[in-house]
């Protein structure tokens, strides 16, 4: 492998964001009041801390990670430090105090896509890099618990652009990376599920060993068109779960699915998918489409202790598969967020719901607590996105706003829902939850009046700062 020392929304969001969420479409004339809904017990309650992270340049933060002590770890991109586009890693205490902040990168551009933390407090970062190739390669780096040294750092890829979107680790310290590649020579391993690129761009899943010096397995995942994997999770047995979307060019339904899966045929021009890969990387445990007749994208994935699978994303389909009794069963606008819970076998859905207001909404991050409540974050253009009494903010502050929502276990009601925004552009890229049920959100803001409290950095420092927000659980 090549040795060295990309979070994903696309459009203004692409220029503003880099690589941390999925695209949203806007709708004019959205001037309704926010929908206030009742709150159930055992919900998120209040803000523990909210802070900027940034300097005079441009910063964004991807999906955070949290350890057993409640410390939160974020990675993102900074133009304040380094060579004009480097990776930063920050650790904050459970109370929001800054424990360390570091940055690293090469002579080119680095765009982080995710972070994970192990039981010892070591962090694993995935990013794209152009420092060692004209086309983007994939960088994976492991930092020690103090944030003072790299334990390993490696990059890999093919001759075309390779873009990571997520990272997860197992109990042994193996790192699992997913994303998409245009490379016909992306590194794959003998016996892997798919060793050749089938379409214009395929998703990939790559597992690195704990030392970061060898591939345990590496596989393409795709059909004859464009396939992107945007989120990844790993269970205790080493099964990898990925979610994303597929756009066929020729034969509709060419993305690999498994017999008996929830949906084995594509329904629209762009469908979400959910895939579970066996620990050896040699075959699919299950793989299913998820979508309606328009565009549907799964942007994030999580699993619970029963190995049920939760995905969020965005859909333009008025016939997206929702379930009776779900929170919202009708599509409101050009693009709604969705939340879907599949069973552990991937052959049925516990619940599936739209989430949003009367304008564009997109889910970019999802996590699940020990009780089975799904926590979702993302970005909304709606002035009537549903908010619960006592929320941090119950109104849209200025166009693109972040939101944080907790669903009931059955997916039929909101436990908590809030805007998290100032008067500028505020975008949330990911969410994590600790053992106590508190939620941690990372994103980026152009708001000088973003709601901060108990902050490590209380003042907006540049044209665009990262933010980290903690909302306390029950």
Which of 183, 179, 78, 176 has the alpha carbon at shortest distance from 133? 183
What pLDDT tens digit does each residue of the chain (474 aa) get?
A: 332 222 333 322 333 444 554 433 333 333 333 343 444 445 788 899 999 999 988 999 999 999 999 999 999 999 988 776 899 999 999 999 999 999 999 998 999 999 999 999 999 999 999 998 888 999 999 999 999 999 999 999 999 999 999 999 999 999 999 999 999 999 999 999 999 999 999 999 999 999 999 999 999 999 998 999 999 999 999 999 999 999 976 556 689 999 999 999 999 889 999 999 999 999 999 999 999 999 999 999 999 999 999 999 999 999 999 999 999 999 987 899 999 999 999 999 999 999 999 999 999 999 999 999 999 999 999 999 999 998 888 777 778 999 999 999 999 999 999 999 999 999 999 999 999 999 999 999 999 999 999 999 999 998 899 999 999 987
The DSSP call for residue 35 is P
Q: Give whole-number Cα distances, 68 to 91, 243, 265, 280, 287, in Å.
A: 13, 26, 41, 28, 32
13 φ/ψ angles, rounded to the nearest 5 degrees: -60, -35
Residue 41, classified by CB atoms within 10 Å of its CB into exposed (0-12), middle (13-18) or buried (19+), is exposed
**Domains, the chain, with CATH or none:** 2-27+39-471 (2.130.10.10)
Length of the chain: 474
d(CA 328, CA 342): 17
Name 30's Cβ contacts closer than 8 Å, sequence gap at least 6: 357, 358, 359, 381, 382, 383, 384
210's tokens: 């704990």
pTM over 0.85: yes
Calculate the CA dihedral of residues 221, 263, 303, 336 and round it to 10 degrees. Answer: 100
């Amino acid at each position: 492998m090549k040795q060295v020392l990309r979070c994903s929304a696309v459009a203004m969001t692409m220029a503003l964001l880099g690589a941390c969420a999925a695209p949203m479409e806007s709708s004019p004339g959205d001037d309704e009041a926010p929908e206030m809904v009742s709150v159930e017990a055992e919900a998120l309650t209040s803000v523990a801390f909210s802070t900027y992270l940034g300097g005079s340049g441009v910063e964004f933060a991807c999906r955070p990670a949290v350890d057993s002590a409640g410390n939160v770890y974020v990675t993102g991109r900074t133009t304040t430090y380094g060579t004009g586009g480097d990776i930063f890693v920050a650790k904050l205490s459970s109370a929001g105090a800054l424990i360390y902040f570091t940055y690293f990168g090469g002579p080119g551009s680095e765009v982080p896509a995710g972070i994970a933390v192990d039981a010892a407090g070591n962090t694993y970062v995935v990013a794209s890099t152009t420092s060692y190739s004209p086309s983007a390669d994939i960088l994976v780096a492991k930092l020690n618990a103090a944030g003072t040294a790299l334990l390993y750092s490696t990059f890999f890829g093919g001759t075309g652009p390779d873009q990571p979107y997520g990272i997860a680790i197992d109990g042994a310290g193996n790192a699992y990376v997913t994303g998409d590649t245009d490379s016909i020579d992306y590194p794959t391993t003998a016996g892997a599920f798919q060793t050749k690129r089938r379409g214009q761009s395929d998703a990939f899943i790559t597992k690195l060993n704990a030392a970061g010096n060898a591939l345990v397995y590496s596989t393409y995942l795709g059909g004859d068109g464009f396939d992107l994997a945007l989120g990844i999770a790993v269970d205790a047995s080493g099964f990898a779960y990925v979610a994303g979307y597929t756009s066929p060019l020729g034969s509709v339904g060419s993305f690999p699915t498994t017999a008996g899966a929830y949906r084995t045929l594509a329904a629209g021009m762009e469908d979400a998918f959910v895939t579970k890969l066996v620990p050896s990387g040699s075959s699919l445990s299950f793989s299913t489409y998820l979508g309606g007749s328009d565009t549907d994208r799964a942007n994030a994935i999580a699993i619970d202790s029963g190995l049920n699978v939760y995905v969020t994303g965005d859909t333009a389909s008025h016939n997206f598969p929702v379930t009776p009794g779900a929170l919202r069963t009708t599509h409101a606008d050009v693009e709604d967020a969705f939340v879907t819970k599949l069973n552990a076998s991937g052959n049925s859905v516990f619940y599936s719901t739209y989430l949003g207001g009367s304008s564009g909404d997109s889910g970019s991050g999802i996590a699940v607590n020990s009780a089975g409540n799904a926590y979702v974050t993302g970005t909304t253009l709606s002035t009537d996105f549903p908010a619960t009494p006592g929320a941090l903010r119950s109104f849209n502050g200025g166009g693109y706003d972040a939101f944080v929502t907790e669903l009931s276990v059955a997916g039929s009601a909101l436990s908590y829902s809030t805007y998290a925004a100032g008067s500028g552009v505020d975008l949330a890229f990911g969410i994590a939850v600790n053992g106590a049920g508190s939620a941690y959100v990372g994103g980026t803001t152009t708001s000088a009046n973003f709601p901060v409290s108990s902050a490590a950095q209380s003042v907006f420092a540049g044209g665009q700062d990262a933010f980290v927000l903690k909302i306390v659980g029950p």
